[in-house]
Structure 1
Amino acid sequence: MKKAIQISFITMFMIISAVASAQEVSEEYYFQEDRPKVRPFRFGVKLGFPNLIGGNVEYVTPLLDHKLSVSVDYSMLSTDWIAPEEEEGYEDSGDKLEFTYMEGGLNYYLFSPGKGLYVGASYGNIKIEGVLTGIASKDPSRTDSGTGDIDLSHGSFNLKLGAKIGGLFYLRPEIGYSFSSLPESYEMEVVFDDGHTETHTESFDTESSPQNLLYKGLIANIGLGFAF
């Protein structure tokens, strides 16, 4: 917790310093007549964490000389973990998993309207729902297996540093920090055929590298898209 607070203060200090520097550097820019055209609508795809893979929409508002934008991310992945029906020996196990991520926030472009380096603040929510079958009981005397329901939701406030590189077609790398890091475990309710229920606590692999960084609040992704 102490380390997270230190990182938070350092990140906020860097953002405040960057914004102050941007205001000084860009004063002359406001009076130029040949400023580049701003393409306010952006549609793209992001790959990384916590998005995994999903869509991104951004709109650059006229506020602050077209430097303030609104951004929304959405990802939805679903799998039932079964073999294709054409495959010999196909059998539906009943296992299912759905991952949803939604994030909304503001970006401030530091040096040029709607392009280049920017800082962002956002709120994101991860939701994981699923059904797992064939789960063994914690009671060694039971020989039957149960079905577990996963219902995990996690929200966080995020700070990010990114860059929009390009015009009509663009590249968008981002790094950041989540003030509410991912939980290291989750609880799952397991139901057996005779109605017996158990609560199982499952742990994620938080020690192996590099995914251990994800459980310390790391945000990292890269986007591709077009603007008009």
Structure 2
Amino acid sequence: MKKAIQVSIVTLFLIFSSVLSAQEVGEQYYFSEDKPKVRPFRIGGKLGFPNLIGGNLEYVTPLLGDKLAVSVDYSTIKSDWFAPEEEEGYEESGDKIDYTYMEGGLNYYLFSPGKGLYVGASYGTIRIDGEMMFYSENSDRTDPGTADIDLTNSSFSVKLGAKLGGLFYFRPEVGYRFTPLPKDYETVVVFNDGYTETRQTPPIDTESSPQNLLYKGLIANIGLGFSF
């Protein structure tokens, strides 16, 4: 954790120092005849953490020599998308967890206007809601109970990424969320007869990888899309 925080501080320092340097050359850039063509609008998808799978929009503003961009990510995954089709005699059972992630932030391209290596700062929110089924810790009870899941986790993040390509692009990103998803989540299990039990349980499996990255605050994703 200490090492991750140190890396985050260094990344933030790079962001601010790069922006200050860009301000000094911004005016010369706009009056230059060699100003490269920039496709400012980008639309694509991302796969990884914390996005899981979702979409991304980016707009490269004319500020700081076409190097400052606004970025928005959105992901939503609903458990009923993967549920079996209802058939005669089919009964719904099991966990039903919906996952939503939304993020907005700024990217600053370090060397070339609107492409190549960039650093970013953003604010994102993870929302997990639904219900999970648990069996009682009391051995005399055989029927499962139901627990409502309602967890919201928001955090500032820093990133290091690269937009590679022109019309079609590839975008790898790594970074760190300062407020990771909590490993322990307290929930109340309610049984059919009204009996309740309080459980400390994660809303997402913490033992398997790569889901475990959500609880360490790490950001790692890959994006694909096109610019225009």
Counterpart of 1:185 in structure 2 is: 184
CA distance, structure 2, for counterparts of residue 179 and residue 213 of structure 1:
13
Report the alpha carbon displacement of residue 99 of structure 1 after superposing the two structures with TM.
0.5
SS of residue paired to 1:181: coil
SS of residue paired to 2:65: helix
SS of residue paired to 1:194: coil
Contact kept in structure 2, 1:67 and 1:109, CA below 8 Å: yes
Q: Describe how 1:12-27 pairs up with structure 2 within 5 A.
A: 12-16=12-16
Contact kept in structure 2, 1:45 and 1:54, CA below 8 Å: yes
Counterpart of 2:151 in structure 1 is: 152
Report the aligned-residue RMSD.
Answer: 2.8
What is the letter of the counterpart of residue 184 of structure 2?
Answer: S
Counterpart of 1:218 in structure 2 is: 218
| Correspondence 1:50 to 2:50 | yes
What is the letter of the counterpart of residue 139 of structure 1?
Answer: N
Give the unaligned 5+ runs of structure 2.
none
SS of residue paired to 1:112: coil
Counterpart of 1:75 in structure 2 is: 75
What is the letter of the counterpart of residue 189 of structure 1?
Answer: V
What is the letter of the counterpart of residue 84 of structure 1?
Answer: E
TM-score when normalising by structure 1: 0.85
Per-residue CA deviations over 1:127-176 (Å, capped at 9, x if unaligned) read 1111123x212333333321111111111110001111111111111111
Give the unaligned 5+ runs of structure 1.
none
CA distance, structure 2, for counterparts of residue 222 and residue 168 of structure 1:
17
Contact kept in structure 1, 2:11 and 2:160, CA below 8 Å: no
TM-score when normalising by structure 2: 0.85
Contact kept in structure 1, 2:47 and 2:223, CA below 8 Å: yes
What is the letter of the counterpart of residue 187 of structure 2?
Answer: M
Q: Describe how 1:21-170 pairs up with structure 2 within 5 A.
A: 32-80=32-80, 82-85=83-86, 90-93=90-93, 95-133=95-133, 135-170=134-169
Q: How many residue pairs align between the two structures?
A: 226
Per-residue CA deviations over 1:47-74 (Å, capped at 9, x if unaligned) read 1111011000011111112111110000
SS of residue paired to 1:63: coil
What is the letter of the counterpart of residue 84 of structure 2?
Answer: A
More moved, 24-33 vs 210-219: 24-33
